[in-house]
Amino acid sequence: GIGTKMQDDLRHIARERGLSLWAAGELLNTRAIQGFSALINALSEQAEGLELCEKVQLVVEKSGLMEFHKKDKDKGEEKVENLEELVNAAKLFYFDKNNEENMNELDSFLTHAVLESAEQQGDDADDCVQLMTLHTAKGLEFKQVFLVGMEEGLFPAQQSVDDTVRLEEERRLCYVGITRARQQLTITHAESRWLYGRTTYPNPSRFLRDIPVDLISNVRMQATVSYPITSAKPTPSSSEFSKPRNAYSPPSSPKPATRTSVVTGRYKTGQKVSHVKFGAGVVMRCEGEGDKESVVVNFKQVGEKKLMLALAKLDVL
């Protein structure tokens, strides 16, 4: 194989002649490098036309990495799980075609994977805050953990809202994050956020409903956010955070809350619809009655919109 000594030789040749490691390997041209080059070239041909996650899966399987680590009785299981997480990360990766670096999808994903590596994290004895992604945190534990940005559109991501498989994968990642805390877990979500060039007013993540309500201690800062008249201001009573998934809270008075959902039969939660301006989306909830009946739809392109049914024209897909 290509050992440490050969890797050092490759780096030396590459630095000395101003070449890439791949070009330096062609100059060194040992039997091990020839075998490695043949493998890479074969994988490159087989990966042509595949989706990103399929490319990663192909490399993991055909390279022999998976089988190699399965034979390791010591740390093999952890290595296998890391490879599986790499494939899962490729499934969830969102590629921005207009990225500033002008990278292709694979290069962009690999750069992202390197940046979220935990190798540069502090030791247990270090007095520091360690920043990492949920993928990186797998297998680690800390006395105190902060999960930030727990909002619809961020976690779960906008691209996962109407994709059951992706949504459940993100739910599993949320569980991974929650269980990293040995003693205390702090979860935060913003009431307003500047995102993609505009101010948004996100709802708390749906994943928070999975946490038993008796384990939650809500801490709310004094309101300092100004909401435009067209935006529905999130309130403690409407917060997904404060309600378990299947909980039923009887109304405290005959007057309905401003965000209480009313089932009218015209549209159903989870139903896919299309709007002439906003495109395809998923019905999140229905509100009001009669002329004031409205629906909140999560559109792929523009996010959540509240539409009055008396004015909006929605087609069921």
Residue linked to tokens 């207009």:
98
Instruction: Give the confidence band of 244 by pLDDT, cuts at 50, 70, 90.
Output: very low
Phi, psi of 164 (to 5 degrees): -60, -40
The three-state DSSP-derived secondary structure of 38-103 is: HHHHHHHHHCCCCCHHHHHHHHHHHCCHHHHHHCCCCCHHHHHHHHHHHHHHHHHCCCCCCCCCCC
* pLDDT score of 59: 92
Please write the tens of the pLDDT for every residue from 142-188: 889 999 999 998 898 888 888 888 889 899 999 999 999 999 999 99
What is the total residue count of the chain? 317
- 127: confidence class by pLDDT, cuts 50, 70, 90: confident
- At residue 45, the pLDDT reads 92
Q: What is the pLDDT of residue 294?
A: 78
Give the pLDDT mean for 278-287.
83
Position 131 scores a pLDDT of 81
* Tens of pLDDT, residues 34-55: 898 999 999 999 999 899 989 9
Average per-residue pLDDT for the chain: 78
CA distances from 209 to 58, 85, 204, 206, 244 (A): 37, 25, 9, 6, 4
Provide, rounded to the nearest whole percent, the portion of the chain with pLDDT above 90.
Answer: 15
| Neighbour-count burial of 284, counting CB atoms closer than 10 A to its CB (0-12 exposed, 13-18 middle, 19+ buried) | buried
Answer yes or no: is pLDDT of 114 > 80. Answer: no
Kindly report the pTM of this predicted structure.
Answer: 0.40
Band (pLDDT 50/70/90 cuts) for residue 256 is: very low
pLDDT at res. 125: 60
Binned at pLDDT 50, 70 and 90, residue 245 comes out as: very low
How do residues 187-241 score in pLDDT, each as one tens digit?
999 888 776 567 778 889 999 988 888 888 877 654 445 445 444 545 443 444 4
Higher local confidence (pLDDT), 148 or 258: 148
Least confidently predicted of 22-31, 173-182, 233-242, 283-292: 233-242
Res 269: pLDDT:
78
Q: What domains does the chain contain, in order, with CATH numbers?
A: 131-259 (3.40.50.300), 261-317 (2.30.30)
pLDDT of residue 146: 94
